[in-house]
Chain A
Amino acid sequence: MDWISISSAAWLGILTAISPCPLASNVAAISFIGRQLHSKTAILGSGLLYTTGRTLTYVVLGALMASGLLASGEISRFLQRYLNELLGPLLIILGMILLNMIGGSISINMAGEGIQRKAQQHGTLYAFPLGVLFALSFCPVSAGLFFGGLVPLAAGANSAVMLPLIYGIGTAVPVVVFAFLIAFGSQWLGTAFNSLNKIEFFVRHATGIIFILVGIYYSLAYVYGIMLFT
């Protein structure tokens, strides 16, 4: 494995992140990572877990394809066909939980805590499954770049783990950096004007609304075939 392969993998990842087709999910990820304004650790932790979720998904996919357990064409078509359709309803439900519209009284563990309270208190951990979910939701461009660009590159360089890992980091870094900039900017603004609680309340609610809007967009585009932006 040489530097050309490494930089190509990183560039393919960055291209995936900045291409227009996964823009909606990136906006949702940015708002989710940057929503806990009160704590720098929580924002950094969310960013790190989101990156880990994405990266791990690409590494597992890359390893499964390299070992011959999965054919790239089959898995690409399967994920493009089903995952994006699942993503719309799922994001709407997640948005509703974040807005406390549902889940206030639903317990997901023995201690009896509501999903919404858990999401608010331990929300950082949810960045990991979000990273996994968004990594699996391939749009035409990201599918082309991963299955058509990264996988052959990794096979040629005999690197089933390292190049998918670099690609995964490349897909997450622009999103995480943007989330940090917005979060720290909002935090600075809140501190400067002594209204951090108000801004945090607004950002938390905005995250829920963004999740619902992105979910509706995904449902319309992928399930009903209604294109809003073409």
Chain B
Amino acid sequence: MPDRKKLQKLISNLLIAFVLITIGFSLGKHSVLNRMTADAATVSASNSSLPDIKKAVKIFYMHSTFRCVTCSAAETLALDLVDKEFAEARKTQTLLWENVNFQENAALAKKFDVIATCMVIATVENDQIIDFVRLDDILTLSDKPEEFNAYVRNAVSKELGKMAGS
């Protein structure tokens, strides 16, 4: 039995080491993220500026660090729909797409008042967000593709229409 005790002690020490490293990693990560958030004073419409595009509709796919199965399914559905049904707008860059981790980009999360993984359809002008609508039901509709597509399609069409009319 001494071998079994030794093994148990080894596993126990490894688990304690894992717990301590995990806590340290988490604290370090949040310290860096908080510093980055404090540095980002203004909310830009993109991570990289788009000087050539004066006005566009931009879809922000707001996700958390943890990408659940349902979240990935919703993202795939939405991206497929946008690429297929709004191909022309995508080509002319009047419809843009950006994935944003709302747990890392606190400024955008606050601006959009993000609750959980969602899509935000925003009108952007000169890299500034003019107007936006948040689609909170994408996760609950992800197992009903027709309803999901109608939900996203209507919101995108409405924003594109508003932009074209202005």
Contact = CB atoms under 8 A, between A and B. Distances in A.
Interface of A: 15, 19-21, 71-73, 76-77, 80-82, 84-85, 88-89, 92-93, 96, 101-102, 138-141, 143-145, 147-149, 212, 216, 219, 221-225, 227, 229-230
A94 to B, nearest CB: 11
A140 B29 contact: no
Interface of B: 8, 11-12, 15-16, 18-19, 22-23, 25-26, 29-30, 63-72, 102-103, 106, 109-110, 113-118, 136-137, 139-140
A214 B106 CA distance: 28
Contact of B71 (A81, A140, A149, A229): A140
Contact of B116 (A88, A140, A224, A225): A140
B8 to A, nearest CB: 7
Given A20-B70, A141-B70, A144-B136, A89 B23 contact: yes
Contacts of A15: 140
30 contacts: A15-B140, A20-B69, A71-B113, A73-B113, A76-B116, A77-B103, A77-B106, A77-B115, A80-B116, A82-B30, A92-B15, A92-B18, A92-B19, A96-B16, A101-B8, A101-B11, A101-B12, A140-B68, A144-B115, A144-B118, A144-B136, A145-B140, A147-B116, A148-B116, A219-B22, A222-B66, A223-B25, A225-B65, A225-B66, A227-B66
Interface of B is mostly: helix
A140 B71 CA distance: 8
A223 B65 CA distance: 9
A85 B33 CA distance: 14
Contacts of B115: 72-73, 76-77, 143-144, 147-148
Contacts of B118: 144, 148
Given A73-B114, A73-B115, A101-B11, A216 B18 contact: yes
Given A19-B70, A82-B30, A144-B117, 20 more contacts: A20-B68, A72-B115, A73-B109, A73-B114, A76-B116, A77-B102, A88-B22, A89-B23, A96-B12, A101-B12, A141-B71, A141-B139, A144-B116, A144-B139, A216-B18, A219-B18, A219-B22, A225-B66, A227-B66, A230-B67
Contacts of A138: 116
A140 B25 contact: no
Contacts of A80: 64, 103, 116
Given A19-B70, A80-B64, A224-B25, A89 B140 contact: no
A89 B103 contact: no
Contacts of B8: 101
A145 to B, nearest CB: 7
Contacts of A140: 63-64, 66, 68, 70-71, 116-117, 139
